[in-house]
Amino acid sequence: MPMTIRDAYGPNRFGLSFELFPPKSAEGMTSLFQHVDELVKFDPSYITCTFGAGGSTQDRTLDVIAGVRDKYDVPVATHLTCVGLTSPQIGEYLARALDRGVENVVALRGDPPKGETAFTPIAGGFSYANELVGYIRRDFPQMGIAVGGYPERHQEAPSLAVDLDNLKRKVDAGADVVITQLFYNNDDYFRFRDSCESLGVQIPIVPGLLPVTNLAQIQRIASLCGAKLPPRFVAALEKHADDPAGQFSAGVDFAIEQAVGLLEGEIPGIHFYVLNKSEATRRVLNALPQFAEE
């Protein structure tokens, strides 16, 4: 079923996508596929897998995503970053991806490696995601390209306006779709989408949703990407401080509310950060009549 990311969205098409990460162990891989077994029942438009720094992780990304494609015949995308790779190495990775039926890329700059505060490009590599997008568009024109967008501003950007100008560079370089960083205030997404439109961005701006399922995640989310959590949501989770099942349900309820609000605003699709699990996403989708399992 060859398909690029750009075909997932349209007047009569809603792009439902799921994001996985490469597990570290064989057990993790087995468990991942058990969860994907559940997720594919919702007929996703495509599934993606994140990309980390380091050779063995990168091979795992390709193994996961090509494995998903082979098992379920669903379109897939590999994430790809500029961290520590020269452009020939990036080209070699993409050629291998294409060989294995992976026709889409989520093209990113990547974060600075652990222990470093700033991203430093390597000689012969790329400094920003727009350069990576331009390279893929030129040398792998058949591939679909998604890029990251930040409704609350990328943490390194001095302002949302500057960040939006930089997002526009990625679109002008040939991106097909923007997938947003997770966020918990729908207004931030709608404002971001309006600003993109004002700048002349015409490609789909797809909201990324991560259902929070426990209190510990809150700290991580805030420190990793700076997403703000509404106080009433934090309070709802804290009410169940000693009850993991209660936290899980409160997180799912909030994600349902968020998805309903987004769907009312005519979004092109939803990208779920599923974190290699299926239950939270399943519960959210089953609460939405247009997606619920039979």
Interacting residues toward ligand FAD by CB under 6 A:
50-52, 79, 81, 106, 108-111, 128-130, 148, 154, 156-157, 162-163, 166, 169-170, 179, 181, 208
Using the minimum distance from each CB to ligand FAD, give the nearer residue, 136 or 250: 136
Is the Cβ–Cβ distance between 94 and 143 less than 8 Å?
A: yes
Using the minimum distance from each CB to ligand FAD, give the nearer residue, 129 or 250: 129
CB of 173 vs ligand FAD, minimal distance in Å: 9
Using the minimum distance from each CB to ligand FAD, give the nearer residue, 149 or 251: 149
Give one DSSP letter per residue of 2-39, joined into a string. ---GGGG-BTTB-EEEEEE---SSHHHHHHHHHHHHHH
Q: Of the listed 19, 103, 131, 152, which one is catalytic?
A: 19
Closest residue (Cβ) to ligand FAD?
148
In terms of Cα–Cα distance, which of 161, 173, 47 is closest to 109? 173
Annotated catalytic residue 19: yes
Is the Cβ–Cβ distance between 50 and 9 less than 8 Å?
A: no
Is the Cβ–Cβ distance between 107 and 176 less than 8 Å?
A: no
Element of type H or E holding 205: strand 205-209
Amino acid code (one letter) for 271: H
Using the minimum distance from each CB to ligand FAD, give the nearer residue, 52 or 261: 52
What region does 143 belong to: left with phi over 0, alpha with psi -120 to 50, or beta? beta
- Can you tell me the distance from the alpha carbon of 80 to that of 199, in angstroms, rounded to the nearest whole number? 26
CB of 24 vs ligand FAD, minimal distance in Å: 15
CB of 269 vs ligand FAD, minimal distance in Å: 13
CB of 130 vs ligand FAD, minimal distance in Å: 5
Annotated catalytic residues are 19
